Amino acid sequence: MEISERRQRWKKFNALTPQKLALAHLVLDEIRAGGDVMRALRSHPLESGEGYLTKAALVAAYNQMVESGAMQPDRVLLERIRMKPMRTLSGVTTVTVLTKPYPCPGKCIFCPTDVRMPKSYLPDEPGAMRALEHQFDPFEQVHHRIRALTNLGHPTDKIELLILGGTWSSYRRDYQEWFVKRCFDAMNAPQPSASPHFENQNGGTEGGVVSFLKTQSENETALHRNVGLVIETRPDEINPDELRWLRHLGVTKVQMGAQSFDDHILEINKRGHDVESTRKATALLRAAGFKIVLHWMPNLLGATPESDRADFAKLWAGFCPDEIKIYPNQLLANAELYEYWQRGEFHPYTTEELVSLIADIKPGIPRYCRVNRVIRDIPGNNVVEGNTRTSLRQDIQSEMKKRSTHCQCVRCREVRGKTVDSKSLRLDDLVYQAGFAEEHFISFVTPEDGLAGFIRLSLPAKDSPSTGMDDLDGAALIREVHVYGQSLEVGSEQTGAAQHAGLGTRLLEEAENVARKSGFEKLAVISAVGTRHYYLGRGFERGEYYLVKKI
């Protein structure tokens, strides 16, 4: 079945008819009275015999009743019926978009190739399906994703924009600027509207740089503020000029494919760069205040479970990423690696081998790092041989529970939607050396070791690589401030929510004290466009690419 046809059937199934609306009234009343959500839904089957109301239909009914005045807004009720609440429990709402198909400088043998998609992506991956449906139009992707998340009951006023698709740095810069601007145009739109096209997808925007900066400025107070902008690129694309360009675009986080820390493995997999390139790129990104995400791939050609265990340990020897994505190599028919497999030169790990490997390495991940993924969301029908389970994270958790081991990474300790008593929190400062910087992971921790919020403070050494940006001369760097809890609308309050206990301000004050005691006279923060006012209200001033504060 075609993607568009599946979506049309899904929309039709969730469309609110008078009968469904009446049924939703009954279900919502039962839930509001304390009933279990799924039990309430199954207690009221559809008369048509098509099953039950979906959560999407239930949220749509709630929104319609609130708008018509038939029901008073009830945040607790909305949180209970919201679909996939985990999407926004980290404090922000992520919107993922893909760039158009474009040549990638990499020749990696494990990377799938599909002419319909940017390099390394398949058309039936969830995010890729949405991009293909909207013909990779950035406005349409952002606009429709925000609307879909709103319809599912998620707040969308704080958006982390994740731009995927091959190697971002290889695209023409006029296309990059146009793409980002159109994403901001969608976030700035006050309500669902048509998508005017200023130029075609070859790039360019009306008014050029002036128009781009104006669009950014508008987002500082927009309905959907950008609180993080993420791109993915290769280590050999990172240099001071590229970093200045990324800051011009508003980028705050960079994902890079390290893949391995063994030059031989990189070479035979035709990665096209060496380990030293990754080390230099990581140091430059850190010196410029970016949040750093590294991708690591077990089961590459030439690797074994034993060598992968040793390779993973190298992540914490100078690289020290803030976040990682573990992407086990998967054998796909449209990748060059398939030919090696046909010749008997490559053998994928079994699911059991992968679970054992990752369960071995996960407990050793430092407390300052977040594990975003342990498997890529590639549908199993694309995998020729080896693991096809996308629920690998759950399998690994079960295995670790059997072993009585546990992971202490950021993701595993986030308090998320739990109530937080700010008076019981412990302030912790985890100090570690990362290349040419002394890093301080300053956090508020609950008595149960839950992570309520943190700040990443980087103190560059004298031999830290030069970025060529005046804002950073002699400055200590705030690379991230994050406070957890269900993502709430700007200005709203929720009793006990970590996001509204003033933890961010307290973390900034602590970071300033640490920087001052270390001899720094200036703080610079890598602010997203939509968080500029937050920092401006706390003593920072606008620089060229960063917000700065004399201490």
Res 199 pLDDT > 80: no
Task: Work out the average pLDDT over 232-246.
Answer: 98
CB count within 10 Å of CB 344 equals 7
Predicted local distance difference test score (pLDDT) of residue 18: 81
Q: Band of the pLDDT at 37, cuts 50, 70, 90?
A: confident
Identify the helix (H) or strand (E) that includes residue 478.
strand 475-483
Predicted local distance difference test score (pLDDT) of residue 97: 97
Identify the helix (H) or strand (E) that includes residue 4.
helix 3-14
Share of the chain above pLDDT 70, in %: 89
pLDDT tens readout for residues 104-115: 999 999 999 899
When comparing pLDDT for 499 and 267, which is higher?
A: 267
Predicted local distance difference test score (pLDDT) of residue 202: 55
Q: Give the span between the Cα atoms of 220 and 482, in whole angstroms.
A: 18
Res 172 pLDDT > 60: yes
CA atoms within 13 A on the CB side of 159: 29
pLDDT tens readout for residues 268-287: 999 999 999 999 999 999 99
What integer best gives the mean pLDDT of the chain? Answer: 89
| Residue 124 near residue 382 (C-beta atoms within 8 A) | yes
Q: Band of the pLDDT at 138, cuts 50, 70, 90?
A: very high
Task: Work out the average pLDDT over 155-166.
Answer: 93
Task: Work out the average pLDDT over 349-373.
Answer: 97
Res 231 pLDDT > 50: yes
Range 42-48 contact pairs with CB under 8 angstroms and sequence separation of 24 or more? 46/19, 46/20, 47/19
When comparing pLDDT for 18 and 188, which is higher?
A: 188
Question: 147, 151, 114, 286: which is closest to 224 by C-alpha?
Answer: 147
Predicted local distance difference test score (pLDDT) of residue 494: 44
pLDDT tens readout for residues 372-408: 999 998 888 999 999 998 889 999 999 999 999 999 9
Q: Give the span between the Cα atoms of 139 and 147, in whole angstroms.
A: 12
Q: Band of the pLDDT at 366, cuts 50, 70, 90?
A: very high
Question: 522, 534, 512, 539: which is closest to 457 by C-alpha?
Answer: 512
Q: According to the per-residue pLDDT averaged within each range, which of 71-75, 215-219, 418-422 is highest?
A: 215-219
pLDDT tens readout for residues 409-438: 999 999 976 778 889 999 999 999 999 999
Q: Give the span between the Cα atoms of 131 and 140, in whole angstroms.
A: 9
Predicted local distance difference test score (pLDDT) of residue 90: 52
